[in-house]
C-alpha cells in the first residue's frame, strides 16, 4: 500500500474577491511522481503554493497535511527540510555564484550562522553535477542563460535532499536534451523513495510521470495514472480536444490535433 505524502482537504483560495481554487480534495501518494496539468489560469501554481504552505493563511481555507502532519504545525525549518520548492519564474540573488545559490538549499540543514559542513558541500556538488551546472559553479547567476540559470535553481532544490519535491514549470527554458536529463533525474528520485510533484505545461513530458492531476477553472477534474485511458480522455477534454494522446515509441505523447480546432468542428464534436 502506498502512503500519502501530501493530502489536501476542501481547499479553497481567493485573492481579493476572486475565487481561485474551489473545494479541492487531493491525495498525492508518497514514492511516486505526480504531474499537474491544465490550461493557463487553471490554478496550478496557486494549488502548488497552497500545498507548500506558501500562500498567506487568510487567503486559504481547508487543510493540508505533509507526511501525515498538519502543515501549519510543522516548524518552518523542519518543513523546509522535508519539502523542497522550485517556483515558476523564480528569481534569486543574481550576484551570488551558482555554487552559493545551490548552497541556499542547505540552509534548513545548517545551524544558525554556522558555516556549511562536509555534508552540505557534498550535497551541493552532487546536485550541481546532476543538473550539469558544476562547470559554471563560480559564475554569478546574472551571467547565465535562462536555461543554465534554471538548472542552478533546480540544483538548489535537489540540494535540499527533501522527501518531497514540488516544482512549478521546472522545464522553463531547458533545451530538449536537458529536459530528458530532468526526466531521468525525477525518475531516479522516485526510485530512491522520493515524492515528486511537478506542474508542467509540456503535456508529453507530464505524461512520463506516474500519476496526473488535471485541473481547470480552479478545480481538479481528474486524478489518475498517466497510462490510464480515463486520464487521456480528461486531458483531451480539458484542452478542448486540441490535443490527442497517442502511444508512440513505447511512450504516451500528446500531439496537436491541427484539423479540429475551428469552432464548427467543436460544435460537431459536442
Ligand atoms: P496557472 O498556474 O494554472 O496558470 P495560477 O494559479 O497562476 O494559474 O492562477 C490562477 C488564477 O488566479 C488566474 O486567473 C490568475 O490570474 C489568478 N491569480 C493568480 N495570482 C494572482 C494574484 N496574485 N492576484 C490576483 N489574481 C491572481
Ligand atoms: Mg502557473
Report the C-alpha gap between 205 and 62 in whole angstroms.
Answer: 31
Q: Flag whether pLDDT at 257 surpasses 70.
A: yes
Ligand found nearest the CA of 218: 1
Q: Can you name the CATH fold of 4-265?
A: Rossmann fold (3.40.50)
- Please tell me the predicted confidence (pLDDT) of residue 267: 47
Q: Which three cell numbers stand for residue 231?
A: 486520464
Nearest ligand by distance to the CA of 43: 1
**Per-residue CA distances from 76 to 83, 104, 117, 211 (Å):** 10, 15, 21, 28
| Mean pLDDT to the nearest integer, 153-178 | 95
> Residue 266: is its pLDDT beyond 60?
no
Residue-wise pLDDT for 71-100, tens only, equals: 999 999 999 999 999 998 777 777 899 999
Residues with CB under 5 A from ligand 2 (ion): 44-45
CA distance 214 to 261: 20
Tell me the mean pLDDT in the region 229-239: 97
> DSSP character for 209?
S
Confidence of residue 270 (pLDDT cuts 50, 70, 90): very low
What are the residue boundaries of the structural domains of the chain, listed by start?
A: 4-265
Q: Give the per-residue pLDDT at 111.
A: 85
At 196 the pLDDT is: 98
Instruction: Indicate which ligand has the atom closest to the C-alpha of 87.
Output: 2
Distance 39 CA to ligand 1 centre (A): 12
For residue 40 and ligand 1, the question of a CB distance below 6 A is answered with yes
Q: Which residues contact 238 (CB under 8 A, 6 or more apart)?
A: 37, 38, 39, 42, 214, 215, 216, 221
Cβ of 17 less than 6 Å from ligand 1: no
Q: Is 55 in the pocket of ligand 1 (CB under 6 A)?
A: no
Q: Give the confidence band of 33 by pLDDT, cuts at 50, 70, 90.
A: very high
Q: How far, in Å, is the centroid of ligand 1 from the Cα of 132? A: 32
Q: How confident is the model at residue 268 (pLDDT cuts 50, 70, 90)?
A: very low
Q: 225 C-alpha to center of ligand 1: Å?
A: 26
Separation CA 222–CA 213 (nearest Å): 6
pLDDT tens-digit map of 181-218: 999 999 999 999 999 999 999 999 999 999 999 999 99
Q: pLDDT for 109-154, tens place per residue? A: 998 888 999 999 999 999 999 999 999 999 999 999 999 999 999 9
Question: Residue 2: its pLDDT value, please?
Answer: 63
Taking a C-beta distance cutoff of 8 angstroms, is the pair 200, 174 a contact? no
Burial group, residue 269, by CB count within 10 angstroms (0-12, 13-18, 19+): exposed
The C-alpha cell of 51 is what? Answer: 500545498
pLDDT confidence of 1, banded at 50, 70, 90?
very low
What is the pLDDT, as a whole number, of residue 265?
A: 47
Alpha carbon of 33 to ligand 2 centroid (Å): 18
Global pTM reads: 0.92
46 lines ligand 1 (CB under 6 A): yes
Amino acid at each position: 500500500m502506498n502512503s500519502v505524502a501530501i493530502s489536501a482537504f476542501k481547499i479553497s483560495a481567493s485573492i481579493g474577491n476572486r475565487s481561485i481554487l474551489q473545494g479541492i480534495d487531493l491525495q498525492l501518494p508518497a514514492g511516486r511522481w505526480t504531474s499537474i496539468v491544465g490550461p493557463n489560469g487553471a490554478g496550478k501554481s496557486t494549488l502548488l503554493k497552497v500545498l507548500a504552505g506558501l500562500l498567506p493563511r487568510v487567503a486559504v481555507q481547508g487543510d493540508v497535511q505533509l507526511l501525515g502532519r498538519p502543515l501549519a504545525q510543522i516548524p518552518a525549518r523542519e518543513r523546509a527540510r522535508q519539502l523542497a520548492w522550485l517556483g515558476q519564474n523564480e528569481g534569486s540573488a543574481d550576484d551570488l555564484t551558482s555554487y552559493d545559490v545551490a548552497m541556499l538549499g542547505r540552509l534548513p540543514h545548517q545551524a544558525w550562522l554556522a558555516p556549511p559542513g562536509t555534508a552540505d558541500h557534498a550535497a551541493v556538488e552532487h546536485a550541481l553535477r546532476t543538473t550539469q551546472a558544476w562547470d559554471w559553479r563560480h559564475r554569478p547567476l546574472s551571467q547565465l542563460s535562462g536555461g543554465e540559470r534554471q538548472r542552478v535553481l533546480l540544483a538548489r532544490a535537489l540540494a535540499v535532499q527533501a522527501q518531497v519535491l514540488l516544482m512549478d514549470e521546472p522545464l522553463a527554458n531547458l533545451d530538449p536534451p536537458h529536459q530528458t536529463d530532468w526526466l531521468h533525474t525525477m525518475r531516479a528520485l522516485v526510485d530512491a523513495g522520493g515524492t515528486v510533484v511537478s506542474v508542467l505545461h509540456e503535456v508529453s513530458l507530464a505524461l512520463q510521470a506516474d500519476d496526473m492531476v488535471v485541473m481547470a477553472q480552479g478545480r481538479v477534474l481528474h486524478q489518475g495514472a498517466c497510462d490510464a485511458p480515463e486520464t487521456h480522455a480528461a486531458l483531451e477534454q480539458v484542452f478542448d480536444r486540441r490535443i490527442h494522446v497517442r502511444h508512440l515509441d513505447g511512450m504516451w505523447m500528446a500531439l496537436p490535433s491541427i484539423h479540429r480546432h475551428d469552432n464548427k468542428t467543436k460544435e460537431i464534436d459536442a
